[in-house]
């Protein structure tokens, strides 16, 4: 996947195709473009409001920024640290898996998650076992904002390096925990292995 002469257009084209595919899939799932309230605020801070996930960004956008942090760390550890130590063939794969293609992979994974997250089964799962009792799915613009947040996290992690990125990830998780009683770690936990005590504690924060 190394970009040879005349191939630098391939990663941007792949990312554009990913965004278009995500938008079409979201629309096919019945997702609206923007909040039905008609307001044009880009940020909504109240995670209990029906506006959450309907505008460009909200506190959960930070969890998608964290996705980007973790994607970069994963690629850096696997392809920059481990692969060269294993042997010549893995090292060759790592050299071909350049930063643009790593970004394409991260964007594709983030877009796939947006589509899965907005499927009827996952929406119902959120409403049943997490604190998001009134979750209706994301608007298309919110999904685009989430993927762009992932991109921002990816480049932030590239700039910071693995160690400082992991510190930032922990800080963001703690900040979200204090602010909204939820974060990426709890989100994954409650979707896959719901704990009623955790859910009760989270919903107690809704006053």
In a domain, residue 35? The reply is: no
- Which tokens hold the place of 167? 């510190």
Residue 12: inside a domain, yes or no?
Answer: no
| Contact indicator for 14, 98 with CB cutoff of 8 Å | no
pLDDT, residue 93, reads 66
Count of the separate structural domains present in the chain: 1
For the cut 70, the answer to whether the pLDDT of residue 89 exceeds it is no
Q: Which domain holds residue 109?
A: 48-203
Percent of the chain with pLDDT over 70: 91
Number of helices and strands in the chain (H, E) = 10, 0
Instruction: Provide the 10 A C-beta neighbour count for residue 83.
Output: 19
What is the rounded average pLDDT of the residues 147-175? 99
pLDDT value at residue 131: 86
Neighbours of 135 (CB within 10 A): 21
Which pLDDT score is estimated for 119?
96
Predicted local confidence at residue 91, as pLDDT: 60
Q: Cα-flanking dihedrals φ and ψ of residue 57, to 5°?
A: -145, 155
- φ and ψ of 43, to 5 deg: -120, 135
Using the predicted structure, report yes or no on whether residue 171 has a pLDDT greater than 60: yes
Q: Is residue 141 part of a domain?
A: yes
Structural domain includes residue 123: yes
The answer to whether position 38 is within a domain reads no
pLDDT at position 77 is 94
pTM, whole model, 2 decimals?
0.91
- The answer to whether residue 39 is domain-embedded is no
């Amino acid at each position: 996947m190394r970009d040879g002469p005349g191939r630098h257009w391939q990663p941007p084209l792949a990312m554009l195709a990913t965004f278009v595919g995500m938008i079409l899939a979201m629309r096919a799932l019945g997702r609206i473009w923007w909040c039905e309230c008609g307001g044009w605020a880009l940020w909504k801070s109240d995670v209990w409001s029906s506006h959450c996930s309907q505008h460009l960004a909200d506190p959960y956008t930070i969890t998608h920024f964290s996705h980007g942090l973790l994607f970069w760390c994963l690629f850096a550890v696997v392809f920059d640290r481990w692969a060269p130590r294993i042997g010549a063939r893995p090292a060759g794969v790592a050299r071909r898996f350049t930063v643009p293609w790593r970004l394409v992979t991260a964007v594709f994974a983030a877009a796939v998650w947006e589509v899965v997250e907005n499927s009827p089964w996952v929406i119902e799962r959120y409403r049943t076992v997490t604190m998001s009792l009134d979750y209706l799915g994301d608007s298309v613009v919110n999904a685009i904002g989430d993927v762009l947040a992932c991109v921002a996290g990816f480049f932030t992690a590239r700039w910071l390096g693995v160690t400082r990125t992991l510190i930032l990830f922990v800080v963001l998780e703690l900040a979200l925990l204090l602010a909204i009683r939820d974060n990426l770690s709890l989100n994954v936990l409650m979707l896959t292995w719901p704990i009623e005590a955790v859910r009760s504690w989270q919903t107690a924060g809704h006053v």
